[in-house]
């Protein structure tokens, strides 16, 4: 079920009302969350419910087994580590089978069989959100093994933790240490939190349906036929895709986080105005925060993190970027995208500047300095160049895109496609940029509101009008659903 669908507009208020009617019975309320979440997820294909249920049961059982074997402490096999790795291996095998098997089989065939991979390919359909809920489930068993959380015996609460529908298919990737306890204790409806959640959802819908989807019209046409256009058109398409993917993915996160607030649940922030970053290191602290911190805590630090010699730190960082790229999809373009960002990040480590910018840009000031503005423009441009790799279907296509773009960059002004409303795109992007700049130091980018009630409601109505207009004409899936 898509957030930007009529079905969800019917689904959400019904679930909200029943959920709070059950607030006196925590177990029933959690059971209802699981039922609603499975309905939400099974809307695409009910067969995938078996996978998420299996992943959930494996992680739940592993947590209990890890603790039980540790309490015995008799040194006999199987050890707690066995149950940890059993859960990790089983879940990664499932993820690898559905997401990566055909990719590596085709790559093997291209390298050794002349590209003939018909007998090797399984043509499995990728379950929506499998990367997100797998990582969320795995973090639980790892945290239990580390002793940072006690294993839960409440299977219903654990199922709710893994399958909570607002963030199920595209994050944020939650940790059991913060989300699971919220399902193990009674929740009370808070009016102010709910209103703030609705406001954040409204902003998320605007970013997705007005900003991202209006950019997509131009982006898709240019990237599908790059040879038809001059370099300035290709550069504009790359810039608009940079805005599209941010509006699409951060918009989903805003809707998810805001929706969770309606149910008395707090989710972690996933984006923190990344395009206002002053270098690539800051960009990665602000982009897809739940994933980057997951890789940091569960892969980078166990590999030694930054406590090892400089050469090893560089290797660890490179590995994390490559894995992060591969996580995004079964294509060498994503690996190349990860390697590209690693090449931008590694010099900052060598110079000791990878943690330089940890505060808000232009803190306490209305506008950035010329130096800060230049840094943000450069970082944005570097991100744009990387997103071309991310958007291309192959490395060869990406290379051709770069060559054609730079070789014909000054061959005229950008060409606007016939079905693109340039004014809508321009106004939407400007509105998003201004609002997010004004809220760059807030919990979310639509928190600061005019004191005048009439102005506030005029803004809400305007956003609703634009969102409604796009909902009637478009129902585009979220980009990160494919990951």
Task: Please list the active-site residues.
Answer: 328
Q: How far apart are CA 192 and CA 3, in angstroms?
A: 23
Tokens of 71: 């309490």
Using a 10 angstrom Cβ sphere, with 0-12 exposed, 13-18 middle and 19 or more buried, the burial of residue 204 is buried
**Could you report how far apart the first and last alpha carbons of the chain are, in Å?**
16
Answer for the pair 198, 33: CB distance below 8 angstroms, yes or no. no
Please report which helix (H) or strand (E) contains residue 90, including its range.
Answer: helix 80-99
Those residues with Cβ within 8 angstroms of residue 433's Cβ, 6 or more apart along the chain or in another chain: none
Cα atoms found within 13 Å of the Cα of residue 155, Cβ hemisphere only: 10
Q: Which DSSP category does 300 fall into? A: I
Answer for the pair 202, 446: CB distance below 8 angstroms, yes or no. yes
Best CA proximity match to 345, nearest among 392, 290, 295, 394: 295
Backbone angles phi, psi at 172, to 5 degrees: -60, 150
DSSP 431-474: HHHHHHHHTTTSSSTT----SSHHHHHHHHHHHHHHHHHHHHH-
Q: How far apart are CA 348 and CA 321, in angstroms?
A: 14
Rg (CA), the chain: 23
Buried b / exposed e along 438-452 (16+ C-beta atoms within 10 A): ebbeeebbbeeeeee
Rounded (5°) CA angle 130-136-138: 95
Best CA proximity match to 15, nearest among 7, 4, 25, 5: 7
Q: Which DSSP category does 228 fall into? A: G
Tokens of 69: 């074997």
Answer for the pair 234, 156: CB distance below 8 angstroms, yes or no. no
């Amino acid at each position: 079920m898509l957030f930007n669908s009529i079905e969800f507009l019917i689904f959400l208020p019904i679930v909200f009302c029943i959920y709070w009617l059950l607030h006196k019975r925590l177990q029933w309320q959690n059971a209802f969350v699981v039922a609603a979440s499975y309905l939400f997820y099974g809307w695409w294909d009910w067969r995938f419910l078996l996978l998420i249920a299996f992943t959930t049961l494996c992680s739940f059982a592993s947590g209990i087994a890890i603790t039980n074997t540790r309490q015995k402490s008799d040194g006999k096999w199987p050890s707690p580590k066995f149950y940890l790795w059993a859960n990790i291996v089983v879940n990664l095998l499932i993820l690898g089978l559905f997401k990566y098997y055909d990719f590596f089989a085709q790559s093997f065939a291209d390298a050794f069989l002349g590209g003939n991979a018909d007998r090797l390919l399984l043509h499995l359909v990728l379950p929506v959100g499998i990367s997100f809920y797998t990582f969320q489930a795995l973090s639980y068993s790892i945290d239990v093994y580390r002793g940072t959380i006690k294993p839960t015996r409440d299977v219903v609460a654990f199922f709710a933790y893994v399958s909570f529908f607002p963030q199920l298919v595209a994050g944020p990737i939650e940790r059991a240490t913060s989300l699971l306890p919220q399902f193990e204790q009674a929740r009370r409806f808070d009016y102010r939190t709910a209103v703030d959640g609705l406001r954040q959802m409204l902003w998320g819908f605007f970013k997705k349906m007005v900003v991202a989807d209006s950019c997509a019209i131009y982006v898709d046409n240019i990237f599908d036929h790059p040879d038809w256009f001059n370099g300035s058109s290709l550069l504009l398409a790359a810039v608009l895709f940079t805005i599209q993917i941010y509006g699409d993915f951060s918009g989903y996160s805003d809707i998810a986080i805001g929706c969770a607030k309606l149910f008395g649940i707090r989710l972690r922030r996933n984006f923190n105005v990344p395009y206002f970053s002053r270098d690539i290191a800051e960009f990665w602290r602000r982009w897809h925060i739940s994933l980057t911190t997951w890789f940091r805590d569960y892969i980078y630090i166990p590999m030694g993190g930054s406590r090892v010699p400089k050469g090893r730190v560089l290797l660890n960082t490179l590995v994390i970027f490559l894995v992060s790229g591969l996580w995004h999809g079964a294509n060498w373009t994503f690996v190349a995208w990860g390697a590209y960002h690693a090449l931008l990040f590694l010099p900052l480590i060598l110079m000791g500047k990878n943690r330089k910018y940890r505060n808000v840009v232009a803190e306490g000031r209305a506008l950035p300095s010329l130096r800060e503005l230049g840094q943000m423009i450069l970082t944005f441009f570097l991100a744009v160049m990387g997103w071309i790799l991310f958007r291309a279907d192959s490395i060869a296509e990406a290379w051709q895109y770069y060559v054609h773009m730079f070789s014909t960059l000054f061959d005229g002004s950008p060409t606007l496609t016939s079905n693109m409303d340039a004014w809508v795109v321009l106004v939407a992007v400007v509105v998003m940029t201004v609002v997010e700049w004004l809220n760059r130091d807030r919990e979310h980018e639509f928190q600061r509101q005019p004191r005048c009630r009439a102005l506030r409601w005029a803004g809400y109505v305007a956003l609703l009008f634009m969102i409604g207009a796009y909902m009637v004409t478009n129902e585009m899936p979220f980009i990160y659903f494919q990951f």
